[in-house]
Structure 1
């Protein structure tokens, strides 16, 4: 990962936003995929726009995208794309969806962007730090679950509902909805914790550099670093001191 990759990921997010904005609150139709999730013309067009740029500028890199699958997935460098994470929010006209783009090197996320093209919020993270619209952001201190403001997309997404119920009971409060936006808010010091399960690599890959670049930590439910092949159960904690209690609570 280098400065050219950072410039490229900005161009990719710009291209996706240009495609998405005309369709926001202006959808003619919504389709249902084989997995029962919704998809729109904006999802597909945004991923196509990103792929076109990558094919021209990084032809040797692999691509994994939600809408168009895998291309050279065994390459040392792989771009992971979720053109509209939070499609249900997008369909409902809620500006909480986001474009997620990540660069994996040897399966590990090293660069990620969360782009909300309506609010014009863009988090970008890597090992040197995380910015929101160009300004450096940092997580906040919160070493105990009892003081934590927790976000998760839905209480119905968990394959182990009792595990999340323990988190909900022990936390200061829980906010539902928000999709990827919650992870940006952890990086910005507005939320303390996100716990989710059932995620695919394109759902979480871009989030890892954003959270960790801001001083947070993001792992699976066993505390292992996230990398391609992880099981989709994730924890993002702003304060690394909070992680051990959260993992123990999930496993209790």
Structure 2
């Protein structure tokens, strides 16, 4: 009887050993496949993030170029036509894909409001008005120019100080002398894209004014240059494998 059962036991042992080996091999192959997937995902993620960083840097170059044009013209020498000419010297769609344009936000003291409105209306836009999201009596930060005008008309005249999010980013930009993004907002020129907009801002200071401290920078700032962005359009300009992954900004 024992001699008859030995072949069966050996067969069972071989079968079990084969199953264990197969399971170990399958696990090894699965681990290797998962490692390849993780490595590929990490590479694609890094490439996408690097593209996004480069894109934001490109917008920053655009802001610095617009600030340079304003500094050359001077706070009282800049005009709607001069700002338009500068914008037309750049190929916005090619140089800054994903940006809706570039603009200038003028800082206006409450006592200067009437004079500012008169000057703005005499500067090629007789219907210029100041618009506020929430009425307030403090300092104004008014979008005076934005190019291209087409598609950005609702933003002209908007007082960004009437929104805490926009004004918080503007204040941070001025105090730190650094390009600064707002938190997600709804752009007035893209109202259907709720909380998918951003303003990217850079302060403009009076030339030769001291800028060593935050207080000095605040006193010296007479406005900001800015770029209105829509998250979908910024991400749409990236060369990303959209069928394999998604990127949340």
TM-score bin, normalised by smaller chain: under 0.3
Report the structure, 1 or 2, having the larger helix content.
2
Normalised to the residue count of structure 2, the TM-score between the two structures is 0.28
Normalised to the residue count of structure 1, the TM-score between the two structures is 0.27
Larger RCO: Structure 1 or Structure 2 (Cα < 8 Å, ≥ 6 residues apart)?
Answer: 2
Report the structure, 1 or 2, having the larger strand content.
1
